[in-house]
Amino acid sequence: MTHKLILFDIDGTLLHAGKTPSTVFTESIGSVVGKTVKFPKQIFFGRTDTFIIREMLRQHLETPADGEYYRIKEHFIHRMKERFPQSDDGFLIPGIKQYLGKLRGESDIHLGLVTGNFKETAFVKLSHFGLDDYFETGGFGDDAEDRPELLRQAVEKANQHYGRLFSSEDIVVVGDTLHDIHSAHHWGYRSVAVSHIRDKDTLLEGKPDVLIENYNGLKDSRVLFE
């Protein structure tokens, strides 16, 4: 039996977190940089939290240092824990819970995360939507600035966690941006793109192996990777 590893991105792929994370991010960076910092909206798509903070520091401070990075990170995580549970403008990508339930029932399928979120804020979001029980391993934005490195770490951790060496053709990356598609192909993995809150044509430019709008009507749980 060939064992498969399916790695899910979070934002735009499992759920849409609403406005709270970017509002809190802006406040956290502002509190350290000392002024209100404007974000180009695109900066969030498919980027790691580490990249976003370091990039904003590079743009707004003459000599960005690690101290500022860690102060912003701490502020952000603290405020997300306070505020995100009260937010009500987020939603699950349709069909995801049922789909994860099906995948979890398959003994040859193993699940993991590959997300630019910090680990703590990833689980703030997942818990809020009741998805925290599905994932035992993952790569998070704490350790990597760019997406291919993040994915490499996610696979390495999954290999260790599940005690096997998944081969590249048995690894599937599910995401909602071109960064997710490119990082999957960078390592020779299969890419599934989810267009529910994104533009289909933009995603098709990245040539994902499969494109779906959401998880509704996926009768066969294997349709995404066989």
CB of 10 to Mg ion, least distance (A): 6
CB of 9 to Mg ion, least distance (A): 4
CB of 172 to Mg ion, least distance (A): 15
Nearer to Mg ion, 33 or 92 (CB): 92
Among 4, 6, 8, 12, binds Mg ion (CB under 5 A): 12
Residue 68 makes contact with Mg ion by CB under 5 A? no
Size of the site for Mg ion (CB under 5 A): 4
Q: How many CB atoms lie within 10 A of CB 178?
A: 19
Segment contacting Mg ion by CB under 5 A, of 11-19, 48-56, 166-174, 206-214: 11-19
Segment contacting Mg ion by CB under 5 A, of 30-38, 59-67, 123-131, 171-179: 171-179
Residue 49 makes contact with Mg ion by CB under 5 A? no
Residue 9 makes contact with Mg ion by CB under 5 A? yes
Segment contacting Mg ion by CB under 5 A, of 9-17, 125-133, 134-142, 205-213: 9-17
Structure tokens at 206: 């990245």
Residue 176 makes contact with Mg ion by CB under 5 A? yes
Residue 11 makes contact with Mg ion by CB under 5 A? yes
Q: How far apart are CA 36 and CA 39, in angstroms?
A: 10
Find out whether 210 and 174 touch, Cβ atoms under 8 Å.
Answer: no
Q: Contact residues for Mg ion (CB under 5 A)?
A: 9, 11-12, 176
